[in-house]
Amino acid sequence: MLNSIFNLSSYHWNPYSVPYYLVGMLTLVEGIFIFVQNRRALVNAAYALSCLVVSLWLTGMGMVFNSSFEATALLWARWYVFLGIIFITPSIYFFSVSWEKALFPGRKTKKDKLVIVNFLCGLGFYFLCLNSESFISGLWHNSWGFYPKAGWAYIIFVAWFYGLMILMLLNFIAIYRREKDLVVRRQAKLMIAAFSIAYLGSLEFLLNYGVSLYLLAFVPVFICITIVGYSVIRYRMMDIETAVHKTVAWVFGNLILIAPFGVIFYFSRSWCHGLSNLTFFIYLSGLLLAFLIFFRAFQPKIDHFFQRRRYDLEAILSRFIDEIIHLKGIGKLSQRIQDTIKETLYPQKVDILICNQAEKKSPFLVWLAKNNKIVYSEFIDIDPGLAQIKEAAKWYFDNTSSVVVIPLVLGDDLLGLINLGKKANLKRYSAVDFHFLNILRNQSAIAISNSLVYENIEEQVRVRTEELVEVQNQLTQAAKLASVGTLAGGVAHEINNPLAAILTNAQMLLASLDDLDADELKDSLELIEEATKRCRVIVKKLMTYARKPMEVSEVVVVDLLEVVEKVNSFLGYQLQQENITIAVKAEEAQYPAVGNHNEFEQVVTNLVLNAKDAIKRVKKSGQVEISLSKNDNWIRLDIKDEGSGIPKDDIPKIFDPFFTTKDVGKGLGLGLSISQSIIEKYKGSIFLKSKEGEGTTFTVNLPLAG
C-alpha cells in the first residue's frame, strides 16, 4: 500500500495545494536559518523544531490535496500531516519555555518536565493516529480535495492542543511582564501576536464538526513567520543579528535597468525583419552602445544603494588627500573623514573623537598611542600583541559600541580616535579595508594636527584682539582726561569772572550792609546767585565730560548736528575767552549716522581743540568753522581753521598714536589716533588737508543712517 505514495499516477494537479507548499517550505527555511545562526542555543533549536512540524503539516496537506485516491491521501494524512499537527503545540510550548530560560537563567522551574510530558502525550496521540480509526476515521471529500475526518477520540486531542496553546501564551505573557528590557518586551509582545494569529490556522478542524469553511490555514502561518522574521531582523530576537539580504533587491534593481532595452528590442523585432543585414547590425550596435552608456551611468548608483559597490580605494584616497588639504577647522575635517569612511566601507557608525589630556591617561589609549595600530575587536582574543591589554580593549569596545578603533597618532601624541561600528551589511572588515584605513588615518592625523594648531592660533588672535580693545578703551579714557587737563585752564578762566562778581558783591554787601536799602540788597544778592549758578554749570559740564564712561556698546542713530551743537555749547564760551569763535554751518535739520553719541562728541572735541591750538600758535584771534553736509549715502563733517597748518613731513605721522608737537604736559598725541579708530569703527573715514602757515581742514565722512 505504501507503494502508492511513490507512484506518480496517484497524484493530480491541484492549485489549492500550491500556497500550502509555499508557506510550508518558507517556514522550514526560516527554521533552518534560525537554527544555523546559533546551533548551540536551545531556543533556536526549539524554534526550528516548531517550524519543522508546521512545515510537515502544511506540505503534507498539499500532498493530501494532490492525492487522486483516498488511500494515498489517508496515508499522507496519518503518517505525515498528523506527525506535524500533533507536535506543533509541544514544540511551540518548548520554544516558549526555552526562551524564558534563556532570558532568566538560573530560575527554578518545573516547566521542563511539562515539556517532556507533552512530547510523550504527542507520541501517544501519534501512536493512536497510526493505529486506530478513532483518531482519523477517513476522509472528507471536498471540492478542493480530501480532508482528514476526525474520529471520536479526536476531540480529546483538540482539548489538549488548545490547553497547551494557552499555557504557551501564558509563558510569553509572563516573559513580557517580568522583563524590564524594552526590546525584549517588544519581542515578547510580537511573539504573543504571532502565535495567537498562527493558531487561527488550527480552526480548520471545525470542518469536522459541521462548519463548512474554505481552508486558509497557510495565511495565519505566513503572518506568524513574517512577524518572527521581523523580530529577528529588527530586534535581534534569539540573538540573531542579520542584515536583510539585499541581493534580491539588487538583482531586481539591475533588471529594471535592463528592462527598457529588452522591451525596445522585443517590440522592434518585426521591424528588424525588414532590415538588411548591415542596417540590422548598425541598429543592434547602436542599441548596445546606448545600453552600455546607460548601464555605466546608473549601475554604480544601484551598487552603491545596495552597498555592493567595490570602490577604487586608491582613487578615493587621492581625492580625500586633495580635499583635506583645503579644509580648515576640526568640524569640517571630521565630517570629511566620516563621510569618506561611510561611503567606502559602510560602517553602521563612525565616531571621531579628539582626545584631551585626561583621556590620554587611560591604559588602552596609552597603549594605542605607543603602538600606533588599528585594533579590530575580532582579533582581541587571537592577536598575541594584544594579550596584555585585552580586558581594557574589550571594555573600550563595549562602552563605545564599536568594533574597530583607529588611533590618530602624530609623533608620540595621540590626537584622536576614530571608532567604527559593524558594517551595515554585517560583513567583516577585510585586510584591504585596513590597508585603506591605515593610509587614511596617517593623512587624517596630519590634517587634524594642522587644524588644531590653526584653531589654537585663531584662539590666540581672538584673545589678543580682546586685549587690544581693552587697551584702546583705556587709552581713550586717558586721552579724554588729557583733554580735561587742557580744558582745565579754560575752565579756570571761565570760573574766574563769575567768582570775581561773587566776591565783589559779597564784599560790598559786608562793607555797606547798614546803608543799603532793600532793592540794592536784592540786586546784589541776585548778582551773587547768578554768578554762582554759572560756576555750577561750568563745573558740571567739565565733570560730565571727564567722568562719562565710554558706553561703547550703545550703538544707535546719532544726529551729528546735535553732537556739534553740544560741543559748541560746551567749548564755545571757553574758546570765546581766548578770542576764538566757533561757527557752525548746517543746512539740513538732521545728519543721522550710526554710532555712539559720546564717541562722536569726543571726535569733534578733539578736532576743535586741535584747531584752537593751531590758531593760537600763530594768531591772537580766529575762527573754527564746523560745517555739515550730506548726500544720499554720506555725511561730511569739515572742521576748518586758519591756524599754523601742518608741516608736510608731519602729515603722514599725524594719526600715529603719541605723535604730538605740543609741549610736554599739553598734548598726549592720542587725540587724532583715537578719533580715527572711532570713525573707522563706524565704517567712516577721516582725512585732512593742510598747508603750513595757511590752515588745516579735517574732514570726517560717515555713512548716512537708514
Query: What is the four-CA torsion angle of 438, 441, 446, 452, rounded to 10 degrees?
Result: -160
Question: Using the 8-state DSSP alphabet, how is residue 214 labeled?
Answer: -
> Which H helix or E strand runs over 485?
helix 431-511
Task: Give me the least distance between CB of 613 and ligand ADP, in Å please.
Answer: 7
Nearest to 94 by CA among 127, 49, 124, 57: 49
User: What DSSP element (H or E) covers 406?
Assistant: strand 404-410
Q: How far is the CB of 667 from ligand ADP (least distance, A)?
A: 3
610 contributes a contact to ligand ADP by CB under 6 A:
yes
Binding-site residue total for ligand ADP (CB under 6 A)?
21
258 versus 478: smaller Cβ distance to ligand ADP: 478
User: Of the listed pieces 34-42, 280-288, 553-561, 605-613, which binds ligand ADP according to CB under 6 A?
Assistant: 605-613
Q: Tell which one of 368, 696, 700, 702 touches ligand ADP (CB under 6 A).
A: 696
Q: Is 606 in the site for ligand ADP (CB under 6 A)?
A: yes
SS3 243: coil
Closest approach, Cβ 697 to ligand ADP, in A, equals: 8
Beta strands 622-630 and 580-586 are: parallel
Q: Which is nearer to ligand ADP, 151 or 667 (CB)?
A: 667
Q: Is 45 in the site for ligand ADP (CB under 6 A)?
A: no
Least Cβ distance, residue 619 to ligand ADP (angstroms): 12
45 vs 608, beta carbon nearer ligand ADP = 608
CB of 605 to ligand ADP, least distance (A): 10
If one asks whether residue 190 binds ligand ADP (CB under 6 A), the answer comes out as: no
CB of 608 to ligand ADP, least distance (A): 9
Residue in the shown chain whose Cβ atom is closest to ligand ADP: 671
Nearer to ligand ADP, 522 or 666 (CB): 666
Task: Report the nearest approach of ligand ADP to the CB of residue 585 (Å).
Answer: 18
List the grid coordinates of 378. 575580532
Least distance to ligand ADP from the beta carbon of 650, Å?
A: 6
Using CB under 6 A, which residues numbered 632 to 671 contact ligand ADP? 641, 643-644, 646, 654, 659-662, 667-671
Cβ nearer to ligand ADP, comparing 215 with 654: 654
Options 62-70, 235-243, 292-300, 608-616: segment touching ligand ADP (CB under 6 A):
608-616
Q: Between 351 and 656, name the residue whose CB sits nearer to ligand ADP.
A: 656
Nearer to ligand ADP, 207 or 614 (CB): 614
672 belongs to the binding site for ligand ADP (CB under 6 A): yes
State the minimum distance, in angstroms, from the CB of residue 501 to ligand ADP. 33
Q: Distance between CA atoms of 65 and 59, rounded to whole angstroms?
A: 10
Q: How far is CA 294 from the centre of its chain?
A: 36
Q: Measured from the CB of residue 614, what is the shortest distance to ligand ADP in angstroms?
A: 3
* CB neighbourhood size of 656 (10 A): 14
Residue 611 touching ligand ADP (CB under 6 A): yes
- At its nearest, how many Å lie between ligand ADP and the CB of residue 677? 11
Q: Name which of 480 and 541 has its Cβ closer to ligand ADP.
A: 480
CA distance 219 to 385: 55
Distance between the two ends of the chain, CA-based, in angstroms? 106
Asked if 580 is part of the footprint of ligand ADP (rule: CB under 6 A), the reply reads no
Nearer to ligand ADP (CB atom), residue 433 or residue 613: 613
Q: For residue 155, which phi and psi values (nearest 5 degrees)?
A: -60, -30
What one-character DSSP code corresponds to residue 428? Answer: P
| Listed residue (159, 115, 163, 157) closest to 132, CA to CA | 157
Closest approach, Cβ 473 to ligand ADP, in A, equals 17
Specify the 3-state DSSP secondary structure of 584.
Answer: strand
Closest to ligand ADP by CB, 559 vs 613, is 613
Indicate left, alpha or beta for 272 from its phi (over 0: left) and psi (-120 to 50: alpha): alpha
Bridge partners (DSSP) listed for residue 564: none
Q: What is the largest CA-CA distance in the chain?
A: 163
- Site residues (CB under 6 A) for ligand ADP, limited to 295-334: none
Asked if 407 is part of the footprint of ligand ADP (rule: CB under 6 A), the reply reads: no
Question: Helix (H) and strand (E) counts for the chain?
Answer: 21, 13
DSSP string, 22-69: HHHHHHHHHHHHHHHHTTT-HHHHHHHHHHHHHHHHHHHHHHHHHBSS
Using CA atoms, how far apart are residues 292 and 300, in angstroms rounded to an integer? 12
Cell of 328: 580648515
Instruction: Give dist(CA 176, CA 248) in Å, integer.
Output: 35
CA distance 199 to 378: 42
Q: 610-624: b or e for each residue (b if 16 or more CB lie within 10 Å)? A: bbbbbbbeeeeebeb
Binding of ligand ADP by 614 (CB under 6 A): yes
If the CB atoms of residues 430 and 621 are measured against ligand ADP, the closer one turns out to be 621
Residue with Cβ nearer ligand ADP (411 or 693): 693
Which positions touch ligand ADP (CB under 6 A)? 606, 610-611, 614, 641, 643-644, 646, 654, 659-662, 667-673, 696
